[in-house]
């Protein structure tokens, strides 16, 4: 039975970098955010988005993700409505992906809102990636070409690190990538030992 490692962390914590490193070490990785972009192109999902948020978000049948982000990241209720449409589709997509990975011992399920969405309950192990707030803000401003204010408003929509850590099995501090990578190797060793004992 494949074990699912939930990998999460606040915006700008560098969780995708850590996920990619797990991948380099031979652990298949499923990035929920990428899957979200994919399922938003499904006709059934597009129809639900149109019904909930209106046709104005679409130009030639293509969803304007920036407009949608503007709506949901400033309104917790709208974000919950979007998640209620997208998350079931991601769950279904992940289950199909997991079937293809049946020969692996572990897979990584990487999601920014692993706890908020309730998906952490489907994971065997949970890892939270952390980094100091200022580093996180700096990373996102640079990466998304956005403003400090926009990053802070997105952070407010997510759980804080203390809350995440309280429900996690492992924590990786990603302020220094070299040290963070060493933590990944350590965690895999611990998991392999546990697996061999069980």
Task: Name residues of the chain where pLDDT drops below 50.
Answer: none
Task: List, as residue ranges, the binding site for ATP.
Answer: 12-17
For residue 186, give Cα distances in angstroms to 14, 59, 84, 141: 18, 48, 36, 31
* pLDDT tens digits along 90-103: 999 999 999 999 99
| pLDDT confidence of residue 51 | 94
pLDDT at 60: 87
Query: Integer distance in angstroms from the first to the last C-alpha of the chain?
Result: 12
What does CATH list as the number for 1-28+106-193? 3.40.50.300
Annotated binding site: 12-17
Instruction: Provide the pLDDT for residue 188.
Output: 95
Q: For position 73, what pLDDT does the model report?
A: 81
Q: What is the DSSP string of the chain?
A: -PEEEEEEE-TTS-HHHHHHHHHHTT--EEEHHHHHHHHTTSHHHHHHHHHHH-GGGEETTEE-HHHHHHHHTT-HHHHHHHHHHHHHHHHHHHHHHHHHTTT-SEEEEE-TTTTTTTGGGG-SEEEEEE--HHHHHHHHHHHHT--HHHHHHHHHTS--HHHHHHT-SEEEE-SSHHHHHHHHHHHHHHHHHHHHH-
Report pLDDT for 135.
Answer: 95
**CATH of region 34-100:** 3.40.50.300
Residue 130's DSSP bridge partners are 173
Contacts of 111 (CB under 8 A, 6+ apart): 6, 7, 8, 32, 33, 117, 119
Topology alike, domains 1-28+106-193 and 34-100: yes
Which pairing describes strands 58-59 and 62-63: parallel, antiparallel, or unpaired? antiparallel
Question: Residue 160: left if φ>0, alpha if ψ -120 to 50, beta else—which one?
Answer: beta
Instruction: Check residue 198 and give its pLDDT.
Output: 55
Please provide the average confidence, as pLDDT, over all residues in the chain.
93
| Cα–Cα dist 73/170, whole Å | 28
Q: What are the extents of the domains in the chain?
A: 1-28+106-193, 34-100
- The pTM score is 0.90
């Amino acid at each position: 039975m494949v074990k699912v490692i939930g990998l999460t962390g606040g915006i700008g914590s560098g969780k995708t970098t850590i996920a990619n490193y797990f991948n380099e070490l031979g652990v298949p990785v499923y990035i929920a955010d990428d899957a979200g972009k994919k399922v938003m192109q499904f006709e059934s999902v597009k129809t639900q988005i149109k019904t909930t948020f209106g046709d104005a978000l679409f130009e030639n049948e293509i969803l304007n993700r920036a407009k949608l982000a503007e709506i949901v990241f400033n309104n917790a209720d709208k974000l919950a409505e979007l998640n209620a449409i997208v998350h079931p589709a991601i769950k279904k997509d992940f289950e199909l992906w997991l079937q293809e990975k049946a020969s692996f011992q572990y897979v990584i399920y990487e999601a920014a809102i692993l706890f908020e969405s309730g998906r952490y309950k489907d994971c065997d192990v949970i890892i939270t990636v952390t980094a100091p707030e200022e580093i996180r803000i700096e990373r996102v401003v640079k990466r998304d070409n956005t403003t400090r204010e926009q990053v802070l408003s997105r952070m407010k929509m997510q759980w804080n690190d203390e809350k995440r850590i309280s429900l996690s099995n492992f924590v990786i501090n990603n302020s220094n990538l070299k040290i963070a990578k060493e933590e990944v190797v350590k965690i895999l060793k611990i998991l392999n030992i546990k697996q061999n004992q069980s």
